[in-house]
Amino acid sequence: MDVILQLLERLNAVAAMIGSWLLATVGLILPGVLPSELAAPVGWLVTLTAVLALTAVARKLTWVIVGIGWLLLAGRVVMVALQA
């Protein structure tokens, strides 16, 4: 249980850091005072968006690999059929 708690605390710290970087960048573009309490929620949204984007890429890559596997298998079957 302590390991899970430590992992969640580190994830929250990273998310807050990402959020504060993003808020600082937005603050440079749009001058004004942005509330610092938005750092953690913005960081979590950025983190979740990145994870979702990575899983979408991984899903597409998996289908590409499976498709290539089927093509190679079909080529092998054709080669064996032509040999006989």
pLDDT tens-digit profile of 3-50? Answer: 999 999 999 999 999 999 998 998 888 877 778 888 899 999 999 999
Can you give the pLDDT at residue 20? 92
pTM for the full predicted model: 0.69
Can you give the pLDDT at residue 84? 66
The residues, ordered by sequence, that sit 6+ positions from 26 with a Cβ below 8 Å of its Cβ are 34
The single-letter DSSP state of residue 38 is G
The residues, ordered by sequence, that sit 6+ positions from 43 with a Cβ below 8 Å of its Cβ are 14, 15, 16, 17, 18, 19, 20, 22
Can you give the pLDDT at residue 80? 87
Can you give the pLDDT at residue 14? 93
